[in-house]
């Protein structure tokens, strides 16, 4: 397995007032490091693991035994700014219409590639998405998506809001705070009206992942709304976000997939689940993650680091169990140096990611 030395974890904590709703929400800045962390004593697997009903087909990618040798040629100097200047935005390719037939799900990520801005709808502190008013965010996002469209001739690019809907924090007993549901629904409604996809991201703290999920489950019936979960902030009893890297077990991922599988069958369209990862401890039993016919699982190469380190991690994950589609996160504001350009993202990563996230 790939080991990265020099483990460094940097956390910044901020309490901000909501931009779009007048309510405070404590926020916790995600880890800004790409490193192999020192393992804490292994936590036991759940005492019981009730088998889930099997899906009717599989969508997995067969893992190869040894990752290929990677010798990327990176641009010597990159001068990409943290956030592009807004210019007149030409139209993106029109989004293909989806004809949904309940009971006959169809693929999603074979039709679209997503380019997302990550953050909290409550305001700045967690990523690009909350750093400016929504209208300005949309203009910047469309401009970024347009840069990728010329590099994605086989798939239309969908601009995407990646919304954190439960934010890990330092407050017991559950160490997370929910974003107001009305605010989440407002963003989803606006995204639907403006041709933007949405990823709803869970930072669970010590909360119950399925309980948090059920709060926003109804939104997953929207064809262009997807789910993400961040194992970094999945804390066991006695753990506090920001003091250790969390762990998410396959049993929880499979339970989410089973429900998303059922929704996909109901609406006639596969559902997408994104799982972030930058360290092995975050997903310790990948081999037990199951395939569900109507769920498209994305392993997102997360974390800050050099281009070489980020590409190595992505390449490793592509060879491991549970990898169906690749995602890739970039940190143009708080850590990546140099930042990979869109042509580099699309040419140096194999397979090309279907979801590209800017935090």
pLDDT digits (tens, 9 = 90+) for 10-53: 233 233 223 333 333 333 444 433 333 333 333 333 333 333 33
pLDDT in tens, 254-311: 999 999 999 999 999 999 999 999 999 999 999 999 999 999 999 999 999 899 999 9
| DSSP 8-state code for residue 204 | -
Please report the pLDDT score of residue 125 as a whole number: 76
pLDDT band at 77 (very low <50, low <70, confident <90, very high): very low
pLDDT band at 92 (very low <50, low <70, confident <90, very high): low
Please report the pLDDT score of residue 80 as a whole number: 37
Percentage of residues in the chain having pLDDT higher than 70:
74
Beta-carbon contacts of 207 under 8 Å, excluding residues fewer than 6 positions away, are 166, 174, 175, 176
Strand partners, 178: 166
pLDDT in tens, 192-205: 999 999 999 999 99
Helix, strand, coil percentages for the chain (3-state, nearest 5): 25, 20, 55
Q: How far apart, in whole angstroms, are the C-alpha atoms of residue 336 and residue 307? A: 8
Interval 124-145 mean pLDDT: 90
Please report the pLDDT score of residue 336 as a whole number: 87
pLDDT in tens, 212-243: 999 999 999 999 999 999 999 999 999 999 89
Average predicted confidence (pLDDT) for the chain: 79
Q: Does 173 score more than 70 pLDDT?
A: yes
Please report the pLDDT score of residue 91 as a whole number: 53
| DSSP 8-state code for residue 261 | H
Q: How far apart, in whole angstroms, are the C-alpha atoms of residue 33 and residue 39? A: 16
Please report the pLDDT score of residue 335 as a whole number: 79
Least confident range of 32-36, 109-113, 130-134, 336-340 = 32-36
Q: What is the DSSP string of 308-355?
A: HHHHHHHHHHHHSTT-SEEEEEE-TTTT-SSPPPHHHHHHHSSSPPSE
Task: Please name the helix (run of DSSP H) or strand (run of DSSP E) that holds residue 157, with its range, or none.
Answer: strand 157-168
At 256, list the tokens: 């989410």
Domains, the chain, in order of start with CATH, read 101-358 (3.20.20)
């Amino acid at each position: 397995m790939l080991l990265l030395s020099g483990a460094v974890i940097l956390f910044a904590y901020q309490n901000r007032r909501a931009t779009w709703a007048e309510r405070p929400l404590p926020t916790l800045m995600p880890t800004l490091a790409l490193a192999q962390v020192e393992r804490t004593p292994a936590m036991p697997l759940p005492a019981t693991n009730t088998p889930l009903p099997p899906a009717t087909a599989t969508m997995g990618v067969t893992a190869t035994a040894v990752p290929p040798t990677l010798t990327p040629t990176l641009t010597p100097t990159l001068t990409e700014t943290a956030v592009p200047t807004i210019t007149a935005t030409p139209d993106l390719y029109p989004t293909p219409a989806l004809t949904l037939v309940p009971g006959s799900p169809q693929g999603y990520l074979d039709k679209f590639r997503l380019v997302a801005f990550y953050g909290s709808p409550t305001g700045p502190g967690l990523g690009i998405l909350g750093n400016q008013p929504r209208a300005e965010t949309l203009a910047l996002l469309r401009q970024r998506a347009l840069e990728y469209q010329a590099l994605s001739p086989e798939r239309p690019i969908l601009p995407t809001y990646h919304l954190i809907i439960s934010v890990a924090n330092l407050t017991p007993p559950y160490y997370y705070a929910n974003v107001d549901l009305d605010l989440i629904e407002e963003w989803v409604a606006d995204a639907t009206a403006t041709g933007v996809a949405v990823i709803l991201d869970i930072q669970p703290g010590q909360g119950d992942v399925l309980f948090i999920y059920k709060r926003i489950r109804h939104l997953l019936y929207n064809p262009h709304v997807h789910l993400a979960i961040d194992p970094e902030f999945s804390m066991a009893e006695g753990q506090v976000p920001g003091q250790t890297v969390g762990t998410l077990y396959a049993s929880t991922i499979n339970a989410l997939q089973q429900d998303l599988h059922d929704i996909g069958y109901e609406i006639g369209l596969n559902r997408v689940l994104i799982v972030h990862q930058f360290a092995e401890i975050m997903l310790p039993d990948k081999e037990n993650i199951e395939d569900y016919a109507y769920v498209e699982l994305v392993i997102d190469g997360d974390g800050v680091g050099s281009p070489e380190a980020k590409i190595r991690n992505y390449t490793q994950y592509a060879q491991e169990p549970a990898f169906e589609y690749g995602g890739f996160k970039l940190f143009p504001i708080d850590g990546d140096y140099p930042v990979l350009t869109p042509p580099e993202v699309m040419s140096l990563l194999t397979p090309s990611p279907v979801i590209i996230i800017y935090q």
